Amino acid sequence: MLNIKKALVPKAANQKHRDYIFQKKIYNFTIIFSQFFVLFALLVLWEWAARVGIINTFLTSQPTKVWNTILTLYENSTLFYHIRITILETGVSFILGTIIGTLIATILWWWKFLNKVMDPYLIILNSLPKVALGPLFIIIFGLGFKSIIAMALAISVISTTIIVLSGFTNVDNNYLKLVKTFGASKYTTFTKIILPASIPTIASALRVSLSLSWVGVVVGEFLTGRAGLGYLAIYGGQTYQMDLVITSVVLLAICSAISYQILVFAEKKIQKRYS
Amino acid sequence: MLNIKKALVPKAANQKHRDYIFQKKIYNFTIIFSQFFVLFALLVLWEWAARVGIINTFLTSQPTKVWNTILTLYENSTLFYHIRITILETGVSFILGTIIGTLIATILWWWKFLNKVMDPYLIILNSLPKVALGPLFIIIFGLGFKSIIAMALAISVISTTIIVLSGFTNVDNNYLKLVKTFGASKYTTFTKIILPASIPTIASALRVSLSLSWVGVVVGEFLTGRAGLGYLAIYGGQTYQMDLVITSVVLLAICSAISYQILVFAEKKIQKRYS
Amino acid sequence: GCKENDVESMPKVRVSEVIHSVFYAPQYVALHKGYFEDEGLDVELAIAWGADRGAAALLSNSADIALFGPEAAVYIAREQTDTKLVGFAQLTQKDGSFFLAREPMPEFEWTDVKGKTIIGGRPGGVPQMVQEYVLYHNDVVPHHDVEIIQNIDLGATAQAFENDVGDFVQLFEPGASIVENTGSGHVVASFGEAGGDIPYTVYHATDSYIEENPDIIQKFTNAIYRAQIWVDNHSAEEIAEVIQPSFAETDYDILVSSVERYKKQDTWSKDPILRKESLDKLQEICIFSEELDKKVPYEEIVKTKFAEEAVKSINID
Amino acid sequence: MAKVKIKNASVNYMGIKGITEAVKNINLNVNKGEFISIVGPSGCGKSTLLSLIAGLVKHTDGVVENTFLRSGYMFQQDLLLPWRTVFDNTILGLEVSKKSTEENKRYAEQLLMSMGLEDFINFYPSELSGGMRQRVALARTLVLKPDLLLLDEPFSALDYQTRLNMQQEVSLKLRTEGKTVILVTHDISEAIAMTDKVVILTKRPGQIIKTINIELKCQLEEPRSRRRASNFGKYFNEIWEVLDNA
Amino acid sequence: MAKVKIKNASVNYMGIKGITEAVKNINLNVNKGEFISIVGPSGCGKSTLLSLIAGLVKHTDGVVENTFLRSGYMFQQDLLLPWRTVFDNTILGLEVSKKSTEENKRYAEQLLMSMGLEDFINFYPSELSGGMRQRVALARTLVLKPDLLLLDEPFSALDYQTRLNMQQEVSLKLRTEGKTVILVTHDISEAIAMTDKVVILTKRPGQIIKTINIELKCQLEEPRSRRRASNFGKYFNEIWEVLDNA
Ligand SMILES: Nc1ncnc2c1ncn2[C@@H]1O[C@H](COP(=O)(O)OP(=O)(O)OP(=O)(O)O)[C@@H](O)[C@H]1O
Ligand SMILES: Nc1ncnc2c1ncn2[C@@H]1O[C@H](COP(=O)(O)OP(=O)(O)OP(=O)(O)O)[C@@H](O)[C@H]1O
Ligand SMILES: [Mg+2]
Ligand SMILES: [Mg+2]
């Protein structure tokens, strides 16, 4: 027992500390184990229920079928094609959404009067269910890529603007007083203080913007996609291939979770530097 | 001039103060005026462009047509019927969503191990574009009310949980230390400190929950509504009646903006008491 | 004659329709003229917004009876065998969509579309398959002689056409009437006429439900048959008047013109019997579009017993 | 007889990356009625030492005995719950430890009155000044009738004037009630003005470097007159030098 | 010759609900090289008075003249920008006022070195202790070569020991450079230890109630030895009493 501990915890200040670290490690291991166990149990339960016939696989598919669908897509070499399309669309709308949102926020910060005038409209636009506007986008932006991006932007830009603007206005007033004693212009104040001081807020706006971009792209592909995971889902539904629907949902979940994690990681680095 | 000022600003400490208040009032009036003006100008422009034929009213409708549609709906006595249905659904999912979210957050706060195990799943669920799950809800909850509520909950519960849980865990540790010196149990700590101290966070979670409930109900009605503003929008879309689509979008925007304002008002009251 | 109805315990029947459309006029007639009530049924209508979801509603037992095209039952019979969806009463016997061009073309020939662009429906959907079938049998090879846009949501095809996308568009009512009203499109052909008789929309239930509730199915079929008779014997205006409550949001004139158009081309079945020839034709169309490899036996997905019984017991007055 | 006896006690905090030695080799006795203060650089383990005496943390080595019946804590922040009135805040400890009897509630009222808060009983904390809030915090502590009071920089969040006044008030109150007090502070003059014995800790790991008994030449045992004592400055410099070289 | 001359000056803040009289009837002259402190209850308008002198707020009545070339401000918080290094923080004022010449940058480096920060020039503020951060804030102010320094409770956010050390350092630095200083503080002993004249304000609206010239019996003009002066306690009590009755 002692040797196992020593092997697992080579570095420790003393025996008590080793016990402590050992317990921590066991605890962490139990957590990770449980996480995998939950996943595994769900999959097994699903598969079992499907095989025994408790659930109708035509409706809910089953893990092995989903896996086979993924393999088939891979062999068709369409798997990464669809994933790439959706990621590309999401990436473009995410970046555009963040830039546009920050720009609008900048304008509203600069021109307070406009800010006040636009205030109720921002609230209305924010609470407007943008999904209902789908057909309008097709009219304005035509079919395909542009409409999808427009849908995603419609969904993400206002939220981004509101968060970034609140970041701008919440910058500690004392910083503004400080640069005022140096005789700073509005432009200098913005570039030297407001913008860098808001980077943590902008970083957290990114999270919202990212998840809304995913939603927007999926809705956009429902509307007028020719490829991508959202298209796969709606095509699967149209042709009664629930396997395909579930597969694309699973793939979407994986992609968006990964992108989210990357963002959180980047955000932590930024937060560390900027606050 | 002086008399006008006196009439408009009856109470002021002295002449300078009166000038100051007068200017403030003028400024505020200008803002409100501009807000109405923007609205009015947009409507006039829209109507004009439609009449002159710059835009195709089949695609974009026009203000007078929207107004007529509202009147027609009112005369059919279906206007308030649809509004009522949507508000009812939103209300139910908002209340349920908040309760369920808070309950889950409570469980996760209480049982830290579960919290850690569920952590990655919460992230995945949160970043999953729930719109894609629509067909699954129909299978599980059937057509109509239950599926709509399920859709709205799917969209709002995880966010609510995450915000409320972060509220719970961000309660000032010193409060916990304080009740620990009184020998408080976990239950007492939760009811006397954690829960009331998180009320401001919960209140701000409500805002997110509300706007997600609106989105969820609209998406749900798209999916399987028989009535309600979301139904009107999709029905209008399927039957190429853009007037109806725009009308329902406008009504939705108004309803959700009003509900949002009510919430913000209530929130301010709460914030005042609890922080 | 009608059976006695028991007002105390009217069985509740959850019926789901694919979309909410004038295309299903007899159903609304049955509803508003009280035929379901007469039969002693408490019908609750829900909208599935898609045939796939209508089928899913049956399979997941969230609807008792669902109205959709039998192709869904065919696909499901192909995919799995434990639960079968069985069609027992046919509502429409023709495709309900129309073909619109930008200019009036009184001398329209299908070959006129060669080299042009058509806004179609989603791949795998029946309207799209019928379109391809009709084109092919009129010497136009789909996707080869003509470009077909398929990635537009059903709710946005008319708008896209209005917005100068494509040369032709396939539209259902009231879309066709509305687009004609704006003057930017003109109906040049009807897929109902061109495609011939196919079982376009049919009431389905699971085989187990039919087995357990033959009474309900019979009563339901009776009500539908009575409505079909009524519709056949009345003018478009009269029909529009009756179904208006279900289409409160639609302009009355548009409603009349839509009904008129459907009526003129015999869209609605005269009786609820789903005949073998027409199902075969539908399956051929599916096979043609490569969505199906071989036909599913007629008996497996159709039961005409109730429809025949209805036709026998109800006299045309 | 010493009621708190600490012998060679150390406290280590465990962490994955290593052990933090917070305090080390502490030897300290506290008798009934004593007023002791602990000063030392920030992060040297002063709060840890208080927690050790209160039994909130466990010692890693040595012996710790505390035979006081009940100890009451007072923190730097007042930690009043903003959603409770002054009175409800005062009886929080009673509620939590299930002692909110009528009698105890009356005692809470008396305490508040004795601190000049009778008009504010139904006010909310946000309606009070900093000094009043800290007084409510003291009442909340005293209502549980502790015989040992552990004060962890109780006045450092107050502004200067209020701080001086609160030192005066609290000191008088606790001395008349015959409590035993251990006060942690950064403020050397506060330590001298309020307590009779100053324990000076080194940087972390905190060890007792020197204990100074304060014997001021003043008429009254209250901070205000103690500050006027002619040997106040001498003690100040003595402690300052020890701290500066610690 | 007085370089700052304030005669019967008042400052009112306008609000929709009413006027806030911040300071009223202020008469104050400041000569070159003087070290003056302003004490008063919180919210009495001390910061307003500093802003008035710096020209950041306008007086409602009276006359305000300031013939110093340039005044430098130092605040309670250090207000270092967390995303800039120590050096970049120091030259913030230079950058903003478009004076970041090579020469001035060298001067910034020299200043940092003279404050013992040479090893931390490329560190980020989060890597520094509170005292070091406040030193950087001082360097940032001094690099613009102000002849008048306005210090608004510059040390009150620091812990006690650091505060005493900073008083010492800053006082020495500013006296050797021959600056003029106006220090706002709550801390009476800080005022006595650092400045030669203490101006006491009443509650809001702040009016000057008394001005006390400090003449300490000590060898060196530095806070540490000033604190040891035998008449330190006398001044403390005098100011305390004025404040307490204000
Ligand atoms: N729960 C804990 N876990 C790990 N380390 C801790 C914990 N509490 C305190 N420490 C560390 O122990 C040391 C002593 O902390 P303590 O709070 O007792 O110091 P202190 O003298 O009260 O400090 P301050 O003057 O800032 O109040 C510090 O370095 C601190 O970081
Ligand atoms: N910009 C402003 N607008 C309106 N009122 C203000 C403004 N700035 C300060 N005040 C008010 O003027 C009074 C004096 O403020 P000031 O900040 O000068 O006081 P102070 O003595 O520095 O306070 P403290 O001790 O808290 O630093 C306060 O009552 C404050 O609320
Ligand atoms: Mg401490
Ligand atoms: Mg101030």
The answer, yes or no, to whether any atom of ligand 2 lies below 6 A from the CB of E201, is no
Tell me the backbone φ, ψ of residue C118, rounded to 5 degrees: -115, 140
Please say if the pLDDT value at position D48 is more than 90: yes
Q: Which residues of E touch D (CB under 8 A)?
A: 41-42, 159-161, 164, 185-189, 227-228, 230, 232-233, 236-237, 240, 243-244
Please say if the pLDDT value at position D83 is more than 80: yes
Q: How confident is the model at residue E107 (pLDDT cuts 50, 70, 90)?
A: very high
Residue C156: its pLDDT value, please? 77
Give the pLDDT confidence of D168-180 residue by residue, as tens digits: 999 999 999 899 9
The answer, yes or no, to whether any atom of ligand 2 lies below 6 A from the CB of E46, is yes
Which mutation among E46, E155, E183, E203 tests ligand 2's pocket best, with the greatest number of atoms within 8 A of CB? E46
Q: In whole angstroms, how large is the CA radius of gyration of chain B?
A: 25
What distance in angstroms lies between residue A25's CA and the mean position of ligand 3's atoms?
A: 30
What distance in angstroms lies between residue D83's CA and the mean position of ligand 3's atoms?
A: 26
* CA atoms within a 13 Å half-sphere pointing along the CA-CB vector of D236: 25
**Percent of all residues in chain B with a pLDDT value above 90, rounded to a whole number:** 47
Q: Is the peptide bond before E205 cis (omega within 30 degrees of 0)?
A: yes
| Spatial contact of D46 and D187, defined as CB atoms under 8 Å apart | no
* CA atoms within a 13 Å half-sphere pointing along the CA-CB vector of E93: 26
Residue C264: its pLDDT value, please? 87
Give the pLDDT confidence of E108-144 residue by residue, as tens digits: 999 999 988 999 999 999 999 888 999 999 999 999 9
Q: How confident is the model at residue C80 (pLDDT cuts 50, 70, 90)?
A: low
Please say if the pLDDT value at position C1 is more than 50: no
In this structure, which ligand is nearest to the CA of E40? 2
Burial of B22 per CB tally in 10 Å (0-12, 13-18, 19+): middle
User: Rounded distance, CA C157 to CA C164, Å?
Assistant: 11
User: Rounded distance, CA A207 to CA A189, Å?
Assistant: 26
CA distances, D44 to each of A27, D39, D155, D198, E165 (Å):
31, 9, 19, 15, 18
What average pLDDT does the segment B4-16 reach?
Answer: 79
Could B174 and D79 be called an inter-chain contact, meaning their C-beta atoms sit closer than 8 Å? yes
Could E92 and A192 be called an inter-chain contact, meaning their C-beta atoms sit closer than 8 Å? yes
Give the pLDDT confidence of E16-73 residue by residue, as tens digits: 888 889 999 999 999 999 999 999 988 899 999 999 999 889 999 999 999 988 899 9
CA distances, D108 to each of B82, D71, D75 (Å):
57, 17, 19
Strands (DSSP E) found in C19-84: 42-47, 65-68
What average pLDDT does the segment A205-222 reach?
Answer: 88
- What would the two tokens of residue D115 be? 């601190």
For residue C297, the 8-state DSSP code is P
Cα D31 to chain centroid distance, Å, stands at: 15
- pLDDT top residue among C290 and D145: D145
Please say if the pLDDT value at position C4 is more than 60: no
Could C156 and A222 be called an inter-chain contact, meaning their C-beta atoms sit closer than 8 Å? no
Please say if the pLDDT value at position B56 is more than 90: no
Best C118, C149, C153, C292 residue to mutate vs chain A (most A CBs within 10 Å): C153
Atom of ligand 2 nearest to the CA of E201: 21
Which pTM was predicted? 0.84
Instruction: For B253, name the nearest residue in chain A, comparing CA atoms only.
Output: A128
CA distances, B34 to each of A114, A118, B40, B41, B46 (Å):
9, 9, 9, 10, 18
Residue C81: its pLDDT value, please? 62
User: Rounded distance, CA D101 to CA D95, Å?
Assistant: 9
Angle at CA C163, nearest 5°, toward A91 and A228? 30
Give the pLDDT confidence of C168-181 residue by residue, as tens digits: 999 888 788 888 88
Residues of D whose CB is below 8 A from B174: 75, 77, 79
What distance in angstroms lies between residue D240's CA and the mean position of ligand 4's atoms?
A: 29
Mean pLDDT of chain C: 85
Best A172, A182, A187 residue to mutate vs chain E (most E CBs within 10 Å): A182
Q: Which residues of A touch C (CB under 8 A)?
A: 53, 56-59, 134-135, 138-139, 142-144, 222-226, 231, 234-235, 237-240
Residue A267: its pLDDT value, please? 86
Strands (DSSP E) found in B7-71: none
The answer, yes or no, to whether any atom of ligand 1 lies below 6 A from the CB of D39, is no
The answer, yes or no, to whether any atom of ligand 2 lies below 6 A from the CB of E55, is no
Please say if the pLDDT value at position A106 is more than 70: yes
Please say if the pLDDT value at position A134 is more than 80: no
What's the farthest any 2 CA atoms get from each other in chain D? Answer: 54
Minimal Cβ distance to B226: which of C46, C158, C182: C46
Residues of B whose CB is below 8 A from E16: 21, 24
- Beta strands C117-119 and C147-149, pairing class: parallel
Residue D220: its pLDDT value, please? 83
Give the pLDDT confidence of B141-159 residue by residue, as tens digits: 877 888 899 999 999 999 9
Give the pLDDT confidence of C182-204 residue by residue, as tens digits: 888 899 998 888 888 888 899 99
User: Rounded distance, CA C152 to CA A144, Å?
Assistant: 9
Best D81, D140, D156 residue to mutate vs chain B (most B CBs within 10 Å): D81
Could A127 and B248 be called an inter-chain contact, meaning their C-beta atoms sit closer than 8 Å? no
Residue E69: its pLDDT value, please? 86
Could A196 and E83 be called an inter-chain contact, meaning their C-beta atoms sit closer than 8 Å? yes
- pLDDT top residue among C162 and A165: A165
Q: CB contact, 8 Å: B187 with chain D?
A: no
Which mutation among D21, D39, D48 tests ligand 1's pocket best, with the greatest number of atoms within 8 A of CB? D48
